[in-house]
Amino acid sequence: MIGKRGKLLILVYIICLAVLFLMCSTDLIIGEPEKEIYQVAVIIEDVGDDNYSNFRKGMDQAAVEFNADVRFITLYDKQDNAQQMELISREQQDGADALIVAPVDEGQVVGALAEKKVSVPVILLDSGLTGEEVAGVVMADYKKMGQKLADEIADREGEGCRVLVLSDGKNKTAASRLFVEGAAGILERLGLPCHMVISGEGQVMKSLLEAFGDTGEGPAVILAESPELLAEAAAALAEGPSFLKQTEGLYGRGNTMQILNYLDRGLITGVCVTDGFSTGYFSVRMAIEAIEGLRGQAPMEMEVYYIEKEDLRDPAYEKILFPIE
């Protein structure tokens, strides 16, 4: 028989066990060290990530290194500014510690920051705007890119060549606007005739055929304003061999797989590219630094490279075009 004292001891023992169990289950005793995970949302201006595949690799790499939970968000409709502003607001409400935004309309984004509608740090991608409101900018110098391509066109195609600048006519993004400004400036200085050809999506072949017909001045060089227009122009050349005869060269920017395939097939003469992996990596790093209190960082400018078909297998460019995490 257990005595009264024994019973009391068992009771105390059981109570201790129960308390210990409760404390353990609520992390009071064996609490795991809290590792802060930063929430970062990347909101781009496009509906897909075709132009961001290398960026995403860099972004993922930085996410692991800096213990960040990075969400990559695309729009429902291409270049829809209202939607992008909604997403910025939604992500902020949902607890994002920082935002990385490739603005559809940079003025609107910066306006929202100035009006204090966004209270978390914002890193802008490919934006010409800086200021107190912006926590950081990671960009390629698109003006320099346009200038570089115009110089290459002049060197390769020689004096007197005609240049058709293929544009969607919207000039909404800073990248497109600066790119065309840069190219047009150099072409004008070199005295190369330059015509703007405005084309909607899926209308490139028709627009170019009209342009060739309207000007009636024989072959010309095509310079595409955006990666999408460049790929579409290359597809048009692939489809129409007669069209190919009228084209002395096709130039543009971007390094999607589609563009690189066309470059490899010789349909695109030359492209300007940037290091997407580094852009992704540094933008996340900049976001983390901004969360940790480092504000007013200087804009980070990514190098611009001009490549042709034979550069595709050059190890120096391979690292940029096909990065391995």
Residues 6+ apart with CB under 8 A from 152: 251, 270, 306
Answer for which of 6, 9, 15, 201 binds another protein (CB under 8 A) is 15
Give CA 103 to chain center in angstroms: 10
> What is the closest distance, in whole angstroms, from the C-beta atom of residue 116 to another protein in the complex?
24
User: What does the alpha-carbon distance between residue 279 and residue 284 come to, in Å, rounded to a whole number?
Assistant: 9
Total residues binding another protein (CB under 8 A): 19
Decide whether 11 or 294 has the Cβ nearer to another protein.
11
User: What does the alpha-carbon distance between residue 123 and residue 102 come to, in Å, rounded to a whole number?
Assistant: 9
> What is the closest distance, in whole angstroms, from the C-beta atom of residue 52 to another protein in the complex?
12
86-105 residues in contact with another protein (CB under 8 A) are: 90, 94
User: What does the alpha-carbon distance between residue 121 and residue 132 come to, in Å, rounded to a whole number?
Assistant: 11
Decide whether 64 or 82 has the Cβ nearer to another protein.
64
> In what side-by-side order are the strands of the sheet with 300-302?
68-73, 38-43, 98-101, 122-125, 136-140, 300-302
Decide whether 57 or 148 has the Cβ nearer to another protein.
57
24-53 residues in contact with another protein (CB under 8 A) are: 25, 37, 48-49
Residues 6+ apart with CB under 8 A from 239: 205
> What is the closest distance, in whole angstroms, from the C-beta atom of residue 9 to another protein in the complex?
12
The closest of 217, 227, 229, 127 to 178, measured between CA atoms, is 127
> What is the closest distance, in whole angstroms, from the C-beta atom of residue 6 to another protein in the complex?
12
DSSP 324: -
> What is the closest distance, in whole angstroms, from the C-beta atom of residue 158 to another protein in the complex?
32
The one segment of 20-28, 224-232, 267-275, 286-294 that binds another protein by CB under 8 A: 20-28
Q: Which helix (H) or strand (E) holds 189?
A: helix 174-190
Answer for which of 6, 9, 11, 319 binds another protein (CB under 8 A) is 11
The helix/strand/coil state of 43 is strand
48-87 residues in contact with another protein (CB under 8 A) are: 48-49, 60, 64, 69, 71, 74, 76
- Binding site residues, another protein, CB under 8 A: 7, 11, 14-15, 18, 21-22, 25, 37, 48-49, 60, 64, 69, 71, 74, 76, 90, 94
